[in-house]
Each structure stands twice: as C-alpha cells, then as structure tokens.
Amino acid sequence: MADLFGSLPAAPERKIRPETDVGHRRPLADRLRPQTLTEVVGQEHLTGPDGVLTRMLSGGSLGSTIFWGPPGTGKTTVARLMANEVDFAFEQISAIFSGVADLKKVFESARLRRSNGRQTLLFVDEIHRFNRAQQDSFLPVLEDGTVVLVGATTENPSFELNAALLSRARVLTFKAHDAQSLALLVARAEAAEGRALPLDEEARAVLLRMADGDGRAILTLAEEIWRAAKPGEMLDAATLQSIVQRRAPVYDKGQDGHYNLISALHKSVRGSDPDAALYYLCRMLDAGEDPLYLGRRLVRMASEDIGLADPQALVIASAAKDAYDYLGSPEGELALAEATVYLASAPKSNSVYVAYKAAMRAAKENGSLLPPRHILNAPTKLMKEEGYGDGYAYDHDAPGAFSGQDYFPEGLDRQRFYVPTERGAEASIGKRLAEWELLRSRRSRRDHD
C-alpha cells in the first residue's frame, strides 16, 4: 500500500478559508469539490484530455446527457463544471422532492433566460424516480432547446427511463472509484488538512475497501477518523472498524446490483471457478440477499449447466436449499457455500437444457398429435376395438429390456433432442443411447423388410 500512496501525483494546492477552520465547517467532501474538470478524479474516460466530455466541450456546445453510475463518482460536480465551461445557467432539482409543477417553474425560468440570450443546463438528480408522464414532460423543452438536460441515475437507464427520453440524450457511464483514485482523494484531503490520517498500512487498505468505490464516502470517513483519533494515536484496522463502523455495500436487491452479482455467480459456476463463485455468493449474502433466493438459483444452475454430467448436482443443490430452510442463519449459509463449490467443481453439460428447449419448440409447432396407438391404454372395450394397445412390446420382456419401438406420433418423424456430452456421467449415457439407437435402426429395417 506504500507504493499505492507513494506514487500519487501531487495534489493541487487548495486554500481553506480561515472561517472554515473553526465553528461549523463545511464537510470535507464539499470543500474539496473540484473547481475544474481537470481536477475530477476517477473519470478520465470522460474528463481526461481525450475524454468524451472534454471533446464535447471543446466544440463549445452541449447536448443532453444521462449520467449513469454509482454514488459518489462525481456526477453532480461534473454537471456543474460543464455549465461553467460553456457559461450556461445551472439549475438543479431532485426527482425525489420535485414534481411537474416544479419542472414547469424551471422551464419558464429557462425560457425567460433564453430570451435574454443565455442557455440553461438543468441537472436532475435521481431522474429515474420520475414516472413515465413526468419524464415525457422533458421532451418538448429538449426539442425546442429550452434546456440542456443532464440527468443522473444510479439505475440502468435502459430499464428506468422512457425510450423517447433516451433517444434525445446520450448515456455516459461513470465508474466506481478504484483503489488508486480513492488513494488520491485521501492524499488531497491530507494536503488540504495539513496532516496525515493516523492509520497504519493495513488500516489504510481497509479504509479504501470501506469506501466501496464512493469518493464522497471516503472523504466522510476521513473526517470521522480525524475527529475520533486521540492525539498521537495510530489506528490499526481493528480500531478503525470499531470507530467508523462498517459501510453497507452498495447493493439494491431489486435493481442492477442484484442482477449483476447473480449473473456473476451463475457464470462463475458455469465457468468452473469455485473461488469466484464462492466470492460472489458471499458478496450477496453480506449485502443482505435472501439466502433462499440464492438456494433456488443454485438449483437452477444444477439443472441448466451441469445436468446429467453429474446427476448428484441437482440433489446437492436441492438439499442445500432445504438445509438453509431448516437451519436458518447463520448455520444454513454453509450448506449454500458447499453446494456452490460442488456445482462449480462438477463436470458441465447443458444438453438437457438444450433438449428441453428443442422439445418444447417441437411440441408447440406440431399441434395435438395423438401418440401411436400401440402405446395407448385400452381400459374400455371400445378402445380395444379401436386398436388401442395393439402391438405394444413390453420392454422388460425384450432382450436387454429394450424393444426398440417407435414412440413418436404418426406424422412426426423421429426427433433427436438430447445429445449427451462426453463429460462426466453423460459419457456412459451417450454410449448407452448409441447402442439403443443401433438396435432401434435394426428393428426399423426388419419391420420394413
């Protein structure tokens, strides 16, 4: 960690006004808010020399944009700096606290301002909180240029914003801060305060992880540390955690965080990486995900991605779900971890999954075909007279318990949906099916001769 902090670029000199050093000081995150786009940390793909926003602003004009990214990545700050760069009036509202009436007032002010020769940048925080009708109210003012809209959202715009609004705005993605950019923010805070954080090397690493990619959070945590530390005290990781407690991971069980992590868990299992799979399982458990939901997903993985390559996988996944249901927390999570490692370590096959989809497609496309008469039951005299059951060969009486009869409906050629792999238990299944197919073809030739 010494290298991480030792190789940082020099922090820009920042003077703190004397009145902020006593009494009610503004929060550190506000005092260190960047004054130019070049000071923005962690979004070089947008604000760097070749960044998207840098290129946009170099032309002297702005288009409406949607800023999508996690909290504390600079979305509000960048919007304000954009307005400064092109000398637009900056209006800010929050979709949480505003409605259509508030929007109308902002639009009227923007029209008046425009008539006097000045444009308006309207920044809407949490824009996904507006309902569809409220989002539609932006369309006319974007069309006629009354405002340039910059909407900020932590949720996937594809799911949360109207297609009409998205078609009129460019989506720019803000990245969560990595360890390097968080360390730079800490260095800037220490330079501005004129003192180092009283943390040993391990505690500094823990601090970066606590921030969870949120720049505002790490500056807030730094303030808490300076307030809590005793004169001359050097905090280790354990003391740091007891002082500032632990920030909950950024995770919304109903939104992107949920879907991103369950996708990562599923693909890690499918990719036979038990360590990555276990990590994502623990990420979700640690963030408060319902363990029974995870148990159900493990059952799905067992049947979709392992199938008959290891028939025990479905048994173990189902048992893990039931074990958690029986034991509850915290004991039951271990059963989920065991199942996760087993599934990730098992041979993989999606042959049953592929066969199921193909069979379902054939069932839908071929209508209500009657099974062949020889395999229909004949519980009544009429059915017997109609030939139900005639010619049925009882397989247990045939050599090898295999008669080789055709069981598909008349009018539907024999189909092959299930093609086993040569992995795990499916290798022996494939060999057995091949032998039966040979016997079936011999019987078919014999019946036709």
Task: Name residue 369's amino acid.
Answer: L
Give whole-number Cα distances, 52 to 47, 120, 173, in Å: 7, 21, 10
Helix (H) or strand (E) holding 426: helix 426-448
428 vs 443: CA distance, rounded Å:
23
CB atoms within 10 A of CB 220: 18
Q: pTM of the full predicted structure?
A: 0.65
For residue 327, pLDDT beyond 50: yes
Per-residue confidence (pLDDT) for residue 416, from 0 to 100: 92
3-state secondary structure at position 442: helix
Per-residue confidence (pLDDT) for residue 412, from 0 to 100: 87
CB 94 within 8 A of CB 201: no
- Per-residue three-class SS string for 339-403: HHHHHHHCCCCCHHHHHHHHHHHHHHHCCCCCCCHHHCCCCCHHHHHCCCCCCCCCHHHCHHHCC
For residue 253, pLDDT beyond 70: no
For residue 70, pLDDT beyond 50: yes
Of 266, 281, 276, 434, the closest CA to residue 350 belongs to 266
Per-residue confidence (pLDDT) for residue 330, from 0 to 100: 86
3-state secondary structure at position 335: helix
245 vs 222: CA distance, rounded Å:
13
DSSP states of 138-196 as a string?
Answer: THHHHHTTS-EEEEEESS-HHHHS-HHHHTTSEEEEPPPP-HHHHHHHHHHHHHHHTS-
Of 346, 219, 194, 189, the closest CA to residue 270 belongs to 346
- 330 strand-pairing partners: none
93: left (phi over 0), alpha (psi -120 to 50) or beta: beta
32 vs 26: CA distance, rounded Å:
10
Share of the chain above pLDDT 90, in %: 59
pLDDT tens digits, one per residue of 358-374: 999 998 888 788 888 88
92 vs 78: CA distance, rounded Å:
13
Q: List, edge to edge, every strand of the sheet that includes 170-173.
A: 89-94, 120-125, 148-153, 65-68, 170-173
Quickly state the pLDDT bin for 346 (edges 50, 70, 90).
very high
213 vs 354: CA distance, rounded Å:
40
Residues 6 or more apart from 23 whose CB is under 8 A from it? Answer: none
- 209 strand-pairing partners: none
Task: List domains and CATH numbers for the chain.
Answer: 43-173 (3.40.50.300), 256-345 (1.20.272.10), 364-448 (1.10.3710)
CB 246 within 8 A of CB 259: no
pLDDT, mean of residues 262-271:
95
Helix (H) or strand (E) holding 258: helix 256-270
CB 121 within 8 A of CB 79: yes
Of 128, 171, 164, the closest CA to residue 143 belongs to 164
Helix 332-345 to helix 274-286 angle (10° resolution) is: 150
Share of the chain above pLDDT 70, in %: 92
Of 128, 176, 121, 188, the closest CA to residue 152 belongs to 128
pLDDT, mean of residues 183-195:
94
Quickly state the pLDDT bin for 2 (edges 50, 70, 90).
very low
